[in-house]
């Protein structure tokens, strides 16, 4: 019955939210690496904020995935691998990254010239862990490669939205809700629980993001996208997965030529969603 999937989703959302909030509280007292200053950055207002929201999301979602009884073993292992890889390599880029090369194409171009940027390390690392996570839940080489590309591509795409307060989390919630609904309608407790814990952990940290006290950074945005990509691979049939992968690829390619911020600001509906819960801001470059 569908209520089993709904119960799994609810349990995942509650546990994910509680774990993410607990991790954020713990990390703001004692960061996982360095001290609080290591994770401090300046936003588009010139005000300080912390990147510890990202590790808190990854740790909270990972803890929820490890503890949820409704997650089958392979999905649990895949979720832990995906969130650890995306969150870990994202954190590396947060702490060690430089801005000389930007974007997917920029990092790969630098790599082709023999320059190994932190972004290239992240791209290759998340690609490898995404493929490994997909291998745990896929059948056959073709599905494994396509699903791995979806996990890694979603991780990268989510990070492209993390330029304004709350934007990446809002995009994640909007993308994840249909996945949760699809899993519930098909009475798939495991996929529903995976989508639920991801959305719960993200929603629990949204007030910190909207309040401009913290941001996901690469660690959190990459982890959020990777989990949503994995949820898509275990929820949707092949046509649906390929459609989502095509959308991810198209948006990623578009980001190399157009500004998502300008597109969102130019659309009344998207702009209203983007500004929901945020303080009014003066027009300024990215956060």
pLDDT, tens digit, 9 for 90 and up, residues 20-71: 999 999 999 999 988 889 999 988 788 899 999 999 999 999 999 999 998 9
Q: Would you say residue 283 lies in a domain? A: no
Q: Would you say residue 249 lies in a domain? A: yes
Task: Note whether 130 and 86 are within 8 A (CB).
Answer: yes
Q: Would you say residue 162 lies in a domain? A: yes
Q: Would you say residue 64 lies in a domain? A: yes
Task: Note whether 148 and 127 are within 8 A (CB).
Answer: yes
Q: Would you say residue 286 lies in a domain? A: no
Provide the pLDDT for residue 285: 40
Q: How far apart, in whole angstroms, are the C-alpha atoms of residue 191 and residue 209?
A: 27
Q: How far apart, in whole angstroms, are the C-alpha atoms of residue 248 and residue 47?
A: 32
Q: Would you say residue 87 lies in a domain? A: yes
Task: Note whether 116 and 167 are within 8 A (CB).
Answer: no
- pTM for the whole thing? 0.91
Q: Would you say residue 6 lies in a domain? A: yes
Q: Would you say residue 26 lies in a domain? A: yes
Beta strands in the chain (DSSP E): 40-42, 48-50
Query: In 3-state terms, what secondary structure has residue 96?
Result: helix
Task: Note whether 61 and 223 are within 8 A (CB).
Answer: yes
Tens-digit pLDDT profile for residues 98-145: 655 565 565 566 656 666 677 778 889 999 999 999 999 999 999 999
| Crossing angle between the packed helical segments 140-160 and 217-235, to the nearest 10 degrees | 140
How does residue 286 score in pLDDT terms, banded at 50, 70 and 90? very low
Own/partner long-range contacts of 262-265 (Cβ < 8 Å, ≥24 apart): 264/167
Q: How far apart, in whole angstroms, are the C-alpha atoms of residue 108 and residue 102?
A: 10
Phi, psi angles (nearest 5°) of residue 195 = -65, -40
Report the number of distinct structural domains present in the chain.
Answer: 1
Show the domain range for 236: 2-275
């Amino acid at each position: 019955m569908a209520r089993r999937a709904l119960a799994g989703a609810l349990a995942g959302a509650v546990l994910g939210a509680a774990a993410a909030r607990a991790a954020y509280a713990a990390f703001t007292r004692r960061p996982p690496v360095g001290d609080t200053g290591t994770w401090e950055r300046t936003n588009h207002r010139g005000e300080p904020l912390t990147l510890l929201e990202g590790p808190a999301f990854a740790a909270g979602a990972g803890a929820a995935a490890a503890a949820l009884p409704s997650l089958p073993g392979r999905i649990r292992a895949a979720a832990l691998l995906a969130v650890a890889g995306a969150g870990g390599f994202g954190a590396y880029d947060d702490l060690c990254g430089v801005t000389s090369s930007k974007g997917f194409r920029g990092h790969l171009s630098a790599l082709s010239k023999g320059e190994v940027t932190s972004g290239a390390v992240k791209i290759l690392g998340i690609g490898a862990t995404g493929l490994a996570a997909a291998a745990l839940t896929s059948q056959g080489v073709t599905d494994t490669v396509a699903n791995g590309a979806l996990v890694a591509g979603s991780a990268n795409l989510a990070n492209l939205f993390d330029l304004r307060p709350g934007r990446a989390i809002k995009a994640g919630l909007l993308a994840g809700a249909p996945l949760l609904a699809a899993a519930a309608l098909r009475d798939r407790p495991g996929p529903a629980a995976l989508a639920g814990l991801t959305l719960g952990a993200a929603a629990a940290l949204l007030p910190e993001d909207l309040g401009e006290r913290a941001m996901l950074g690469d660690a959190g945005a990459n982890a959020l996208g990777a989990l949503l990509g994995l949820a898509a691979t275990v929820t949707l049939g092949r046509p649906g997965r390929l459609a989502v992968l095509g959308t991810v690829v198209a948006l990623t390619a578009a980001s190399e030529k157009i500004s998502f911020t300008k597109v969102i600001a130019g659309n009344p509906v998207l702009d209203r969603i983007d500004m929901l819960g945020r303080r009014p801001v003066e027009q300024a470059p990215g956060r």
